[in-house]
Structure 1
């Protein structure tokens, strides 16, 4: 028995050692699993108003989403963030390092995470449109059919033929007929957007441009019109654009860490200067998806959102191809297998995207550093077509 007791004690010790080793392995496995889950997009809790969930709980394919990183690396997409929201819940966010620009100045490689602000560039235009809508909701502006010169009496001496017929709506839809060319290289002095950023009085610069086509007949991408809209908001509200945006839009959305950059001439860039955290940009998308509401509160009227995202003109997108334009918002569609889904988007130079897909109750945001590249934005469309749309499982609740 004594010898048997020794054997039992030895077996017991071995069992304890084995159990401890098994527990350690399990803990290591759990740690590795947690790390993998974190690495492939588990949302970080920042107490910023976003409820979080797993992709599977909202009908998305988590393992498939985990393949996004490899695809981006293989294609040298220089994407800095991918954020996905479904059914009002943040279910995926992943950040990547890479070179970037801060308001036109190269920097990097840079480390991005959930708390890093990013240039949103012309996504700013869509946000400015929301602010115009709020100003109309508050009756600071009567309607989009108000003539633009009504708001600029101090520039009346500049008036040339055709300007009397230009309304806020024409600026919102980019169909004013104004002579404007910002498709030239940035270094080209004939690039109107460059001149807008450098002129001592950018509003005078825009208002002095000739009208060369009847309004509502030709769509032409135009940051100058958006800058006029931003200044209209300042004039009717008696506040700077930053102050009005902070009080009327960002604070109700729980967005506290943001910037709106200025040109070299110290005038705010309504058309391109906004910097946001990607998960805060997703709140803008969710606001539009919710038809102007956030957390049960109306921030901008459903009527304005509907007007803004109604296709009005055919337009050429940043990523090529023909799409539709509303009031500073883009519309298009993604074909994936037998699925054809329509989307609404805010687009910014370099690959900044907010995609809103109402029929899938989904918002996706990407940020990227492909400024000047013809590939900008292609990664976002690839993610939609090959990692999200085909793998929707709507029976998951």
Structure 2
């Protein structure tokens, strides 16, 4: 089965199987060829929508740019960047710990991001006050709050609004012109989710990482070393994706090939398979989720397998 045939099978499954009825888009780029650009609802592929936790991978990208610019250090600590008011137990948590979600905070109960979002202000201070369940670096826990604290640290390191920095340093080089980035009551852009980008913007993000940080036109947005570090397994990870974890990217293997992906609620996924020169984007609508819903990531495995078989056939020739 060729990649085109596998994409046709994936498209048919999305259209016919009820578990995928919430799916909004399937975009596939293999090499320099855009194989698929399907929109299943009213939202066009160039129209922004909520990318949920894929926002975290965008934040990781901004961190990479700030590191390249000499304005951010992965070894810097929360205490260094956010000052004396940081609780003692949190001061030695590093940016690397926040990126890998190994900071040790309790992300549940009143410190769960949904509970924090109900507060009228002081989100970052509340997240910093969360009890420590383990030493920094000792254990992975999926932690939306860690990403929001990371965004606050990025503000201090940059000395400017991260959305302004993103507009200049990331969105413009990728040709992204429309987005919406919600802010907390203290005007900090969300680090954990709900940035709005289009499926084609997400494709551009995936292609940037596939190219090791080099944008179209040759401008380097982060180093190849940062890309490699961000997309290797730093821990075994855990829920919700239950696979390895890097720097706000999930790390796994598909069809025997090293793979990493950005994941978000309701079926948002950007999958990058460097050895196959393959990027896929799938999105879903939260409002349309059914009781038996499944992410369209399920159908991406077949596309990756077809690309892998095609590579093998080429090698055999």
Question: What's the TM-score, normalizing by structure 2?
Answer: 0.89
CA gap of 1:150–1:280, structure 2 versus 1, over 3 A, is same
**Residue 282, structure 1, aligned to residue 203, structure 2:** yes
- Work out which of the residue numbers 14, 31, 37 in structure 2 matches 1:72: 14
For residues 228 and 279 of structure 2, what CA distance do their matches in structure 1 show? 17
- Length, aligned pairs only: 307
- Work out which of the residue numbers 64, 83, 94 in structure 1 matches 2:27: 83
In structure 2, the partner of 1:150 is 80
For residues 122 and 172 of structure 1, what CA distance do their matches in structure 2 show? 13
For residues 374 and 134 of structure 1, what CA distance do their matches in structure 2 show? 40
In structure 2, the partner of 1:384 is 300
Q: Which has the higher contact order (CA 8 A, sep 6+)?
A: 2
For residues 224 and 260 of structure 2, what CA distance do their matches in structure 1 show? 15
CA apart distance, 1:317: 4.1
For residues 87 and 60 of structure 2, what CA distance do their matches in structure 1 show? 25
- Work out which of the residue numbers 270, 292, 313 in structure 1 matches 2:191: 270
- Work out which of the residue numbers 169, 183, 196 in structure 1 matches 2:96: 169
Q: Alignment partner of 1:272: what SS?
A: coil
Q: Which runs of 5+ in 1 are unaligned?
A: 1-58, 98-110, 182-188
- Work out which of the residue numbers 238, 243, 248 in structure 2 matches 1:328: 248
In structure 2, the partner of 1:195 is 115
Q: Alignment partner of 2:169: what SS?
A: helix
**Residue 62, structure 1, aligned to residue 14, structure 2:** no
In structure 1, the partner of 2:45 is 114
Instruction: Describe the superposition over 1:31-78 as per-residue Cα deviations: whole angstroms up to 9, x where unpaired.
Output: xxxxxxxxxxxxxxxxxxxxxxxxxxxx95434423333211322211
For residues 246 and 367 of structure 1, what CA distance do their matches in structure 2 show? 23
CA apart distance, 1:224: 1.0
**Residue 179, structure 1, aligned to residue 106, structure 2:** yes
- Work out which of the residue numbers 261, 264, 272 in structure 2 matches 1:348: 264
CA apart distance, 1:219: 0.7
Q: Say whether the 8 Å CA contact 2:111–2:127 is kept in structure 1.
A: no
CA apart distance, 1:378: 3.7
In structure 2, the partner of 1:124 is 55
Q: Alignment partner of 2:67: what SS?
A: helix
Instruction: Describe the superposition over 1:71-123 as per-residue Cα deviations: whole angstroms up to 9, x where unpaired.
Output: 113222111000011113323110012xxxxxxxxxxxxx1212221211110
Q: Say whether the 8 Å CA contact 1:330–1:347 is kept in structure 2.
A: yes
CA gap of 1:318–1:370, structure 2 versus 1, over 3 A, is farther
CA apart distance, 1:380: 1.6
CA apart distance, 1:265: 6.4
Q: Say whether the 8 Å CA contact 1:148–1:168 is kept in structure 2.
A: yes
CA apart distance, 1:230: 1.1
Q: Say whether the 8 Å CA contact 1:178–1:213 is kept in structure 2.
A: yes
CA gap of 1:376–1:345, structure 2 versus 1, over 3 A, is farther
CA apart distance, 1:266: 5.0
Q: Alignment partner of 2:132: what SS?
A: coil
Q: Say whether the 8 Å CA contact 1:65–1:388 is kept in structure 2.
A: no
- Work out which of the residue numbers 364, 380, 393 in structure 1 matches 2:280: 364
For residues 179 and 210 of structure 2, what CA distance do their matches in structure 1 show? 21
For residues 131 and 17 of structure 2, what CA distance do their matches in structure 1 show? 43
For residues 264 and 225 of structure 1, what CA distance do their matches in structure 2 show? 17
Instruction: Describe the superposition over 1:222-270 as per-residue Cα deviations: whole angstroms up to 9, x where unpaired.
Output: 1111111112222222322211111110101111111112346654211
Deviation larger for 263-272 or 220-229:
263-272
Q: Alignment partner of 1:279: what SS?
A: helix
**Residue 301, structure 1, aligned to residue 223, structure 2:** yes
CA apart distance, 1:299: 1.1
